[in-house]
Structure 1
Amino acid sequence: MTSSQLLVRPLAPSEVLHFRFGLYVGYATQVRGKLDSAALTQAFAILRQAYPILSSRLVLDHASQPSIEAAPELSAAVDEVSGPVDNPLFGLPDLDDRAAAIHTVRGTDDAATVTLLTHHSIADGHHSLYLLAELWHLYTACVTDAPTAARRHDYPHSLEHLLDQRGIGIGPTALPDDAMLEALASADIPSGPTERVRTRLSVADTQSLLATGRSAGTTINGLVSAALLAATAQSRNVGIDTLHYTYPVDMRARLTPQVGYPEGTNVLGMAYFAADPHADDDLLALARAVTSTLRDGIATGAVFAGNAQFVSAAQGNSAGPEGFLSTMLVSTNWGVIPALPTPADLIIEDFYPVMPNNPMTSIAPYVITTYDGQLTIDTAASSFDTSQLLAEHLHGLARRSG
């Protein structure tokens, strides 16, 4: 329970599921050089002042409704431990339902990993990546004694509010039923850190894959989706038509007027795709089908209906919720990681997503990014067989650029 005087607003349906599972997402930057902890703390304090949502926490109000509560009295969650830099969540303390935190793991040399963690109820991937870039801008300004004033922003709105402002009615948001939620909640949670599996293309192969997409009338998202569907079906030894594939779609640039990254929490539609039998016989045709289905969903407004198609498929699945979970395939495309400035004595060597353990790791997504010119797919859900097959398919598609 908490005082209603501090409540900002209740969570909307598009935000509630993340609250139920306490879902945080981490944006890890592996750095090398001189990392000034005091400057990092100062930068995060300025960021919190500019974006008050970062000084909030997620609570149940007096009516047990999940809500955002202003909590400026909470000290900024900035902590640092010594440990393996390849495990950015090493020594992560209880986040106490805070909306955001900074966690740093320092190695034995001049390497460290700095991770921005945000609660998924208050920010999606694109919103959080914007905040990560802002954090490194502010850190660089603090270290170099440059002006660090930051404009104060309002609390971000929910997708439902933003659509209502634009006269777009989507009806009730489709949410998983109690049986599906119970299946998720009862899923096994790894006792230790989840193992991250990575598939990364070189800069040259990434450029070739882009060229393949242009010549074939599809996109990087379509090509990666096709390769991922084929690799998953082959590694599980199942028909590709048995997989239920879904991924969020950033709607900010597709709304009129457009929505800025920090203006909304989860400004996402949901795309759903079911492949035809033997669709993995022609990956380019499969990629075009994924892209065409997405375009149709945007044109008809189907993506605004959230998980409607996915939830309908889940509820009608004869194998029940547990069986349906085993057929799920989820990706999320964060696009090109924005420029992350640093002082001259510090460089960012790598970027990758991380997710603290929770029941949703049972359907952990494949996170698609392009960092430093290299297409990368990270996940905690993959087997190495799937990852190897995925890499083979992507390289094969890249070679078709000519």
Structure 2
Amino acid sequence: MTSPQLLVRTLAPSEVFYFRSGVYIGYATQVRGTLDSAALAQAFEILRKTYPILSARLVLDPTNQPSIEAAPGLPAAIDEVAGPIDDPLFGLPELKGHAAAIHTVHGNGDTAVVTLLTHHSIADGHHSLYLLSELWKLYTACAAYTATAPQRHDFPYSLEQLLDQRGIDAVPLTDLSDLDAFAAFPGVDNPPHPPERVRIRLSAADTVALLATGRSHETTINGLVSAALLAATAQSRGIDIDTLHYTYPVDLRTRLTPRIGYPEGTNVLGIAHFVADPHSDDDLLALARSVTSTLREGLATGELFTGSDQFMSSADELLTSAEGLSRIVVSTNWGVIPRFATPADLTIEDFLPAMPNTLMSPLAAHVITTYDGQLTIDTADSAPDESRLLADHLHNLARLAQ
């Protein structure tokens, strides 16, 4: 419980889901060189003052409603350990409702991985990537002793508030209430080992070729990766592709008028839902175009703003059994990861997502990013051969650019 004087607002339905499932997302930067821990702590403190949502806590209010609590005196959740840098969450302590945290793992020599963790209730992927970019700008300034006083931003709005401001009387995501179903599956609360990271990465040349394939065949990177992912999942699990339910979030910021800045909203997301036609994995280009056209139709009709009845009815049915969960495929496309500012004595060598284990772990998302010109898909444990098949399909699609 908390004091009413500190409450900012109760969480909206699009935010409550992540509160109940305890989802934090990590944005990890693997670095080499001189990492100044004091400068990093100072940069994070400035970031928290600039964006007070990062100093907040997620709590239950006196009426037992999930809420945002202002906590300006709350010490920053920042820690560092020695360990393997290929595990950005090695030694991660309990986050205890903090809206954001910094976790650093120091490896051998001058290597480390610095991870910004944000609770999904207060920031989606694009919002958090913006905050990560700001963190590295501030770190660079702090390391050079040139950091200036921040201009304070307001707390971000929920998507429901942003839609209401624009005269849209709808919410894109209702609360999925049956989260207790996840607790019934082995290993959710206390997994015997951390989920194994599975990573598929294309070369820069293959990434350029895949982009060219999309342009010449009237689809997108999202469509091509989605088609390859659906085909690989169906083939590796030995099931028909039309039995899979594919869902992914869509950033609505640039699709609303006026547009919404990254830090203005928490989860400015619509939920796309797609079910393939039977045997559509026989032609991945046609399947990719179908994914793309279904998304465009959902945007044109407003379904991504009003919510998909098909998605919600499917979720109610599929989330209640292990067999149902095996039919769900989830991706999230974070797009092109920008080059982050760093001092001359520090280089960011790689970027990767990091997701602590939660009740939602059985629905591990395939995170699609492009960093340093290379398309990458990261996920946790997958079915046997799924990653190999996915890589094969992507390479084959890239060859169609000619």
In the TM superposition, what whole-angstrom CA distance separates every residue of 1:154-210 from its partner, at most 9, and x where no partner exists? Answer: 0000000000000011258433343xx222233332233221100000000000000
> Which blocks of at least 5 consecutive residues in structure 1 are unaligned?
none
> Matched residues in 2 for 1:274 and 1:394: separation?
20
Deviation at 1:384, TM superposition (A): 5.0
What is the Cα-based RMSD across aligned positions, in Å? Answer: 1.4
Is residue 325 of structure 1 aligned with residue 325 of structure 2? yes
Is residue 159 of structure 1 aligned with residue 159 of structure 2? yes
> Matched residues in 1 for 2:349 and 2:149: separation?
28
Tell me the residue number matched to 1:134.
134
> Matched residues in 1 for 2:293 and 2:80: separation?
46
| TM-score using structure 2 length | 0.97
Tell me the residue number matched to 2:293.
292
> Matched residues in 2 for 1:16 and 1:171: separation?
13
Opposite residue 10 of structure 1, the aligned amino acid is T
Opposite residue 51 of structure 2, the aligned amino acid is Y
Tell me the residue number matched to 2:69.
69
> Matched residues in 2 for 1:315 and 1:360: separation?
15
Tell me the residue number matched to 1:236.
237
Is residue 248 of structure 1 aligned with residue 246 of structure 2? no
Is residue 30 of structure 1 aligned with residue 25 of structure 2? no
> Matched residues in 1 for 2:337 and 2:274: separation?
26
Structure 1 range deviating more: 136-145 or 268-277 = 136-145
Deviation at 1:214, TM superposition (A): 0.2
> Which blocks of at least 5 consecutive residues in structure 2 are unaligned?
none
> Matched residues in 2 for 1:199 and 1:99: separation?
30
Q: Could you say if the C-alpha distance between residues 98 and 191 of structure 1 is closer, same or farther in structure 2, counting changes exceeding 3 Å? A: farther
Tell me the residue number matched to 1:334.
334
> Matched residues in 2 for 1:98 and 1:393: separation?
40
Contact 2:228 2:394 in 1 (8 A): yes
Contact 1:271 1:303 in 2 (8 A): yes
Tell me the residue number matched to 1:4.
4
Opposite residue 38 of structure 2, the aligned amino acid is A
Q: Could you say if the C-alpha distance between residues 126 and 243 of structure 1 is closer, same or farther in structure 2, counting changes exceeding 3 Å? A: same
Taking only the aligned residue pairs, the percentage that are identical comes to 69
In the TM superposition, what whole-angstrom CA distance separates every residue of 1:90-129 from its partner, at most 9, and x where no partner exists? Answer: 1111111000000000012110000000000000000000
- Counting only pairs closer than 5 Å after superposition, residues 164-203 of structure 1 correspond to structure 2 as 164-170=164-170, 173-178=173-178, 181-187=179-185, 188-189=187-188, 190-203=191-204
| TM-score using structure 1 length | 0.97
Tell me the residue number matched to 1:267.
268
> Matched residues in 2 for 1:113 and 1:328: separation?
31
Deviation at 1:313, TM superposition (A): 1.8
Deviation at 1:381, TM superposition (A): 4.0
- Counting only pairs closer than 5 Å after superposition, residues 16-165 of structure 1 correspond to structure 2 as 16-165=16-165
Q: Could you say if the C-alpha distance between residues 185 and 289 of structure 1 is closer, same or farther in structure 2, counting changes exceeding 3 Å? A: same
> Matched residues in 2 for 1:304 and 1:192: separation?
39
Deviation at 1:144, TM superposition (A): 1.4
Opposite residue 151 of structure 1, the aligned amino acid is Q
Tell me the residue number matched to 1:366.
366
**Secondary structure of residue in 2 paired with 1:31:** strand
**Secondary structure of residue in 1 paired with 2:310:** helix
Contact 1:235 1:385 in 2 (8 A): yes
Opposite residue 81 of structure 2, the aligned amino acid is V
Structure 1 range deviating more: 141-150 or 324-333 = 141-150
**Secondary structure of residue in 2 paired with 1:29:** strand
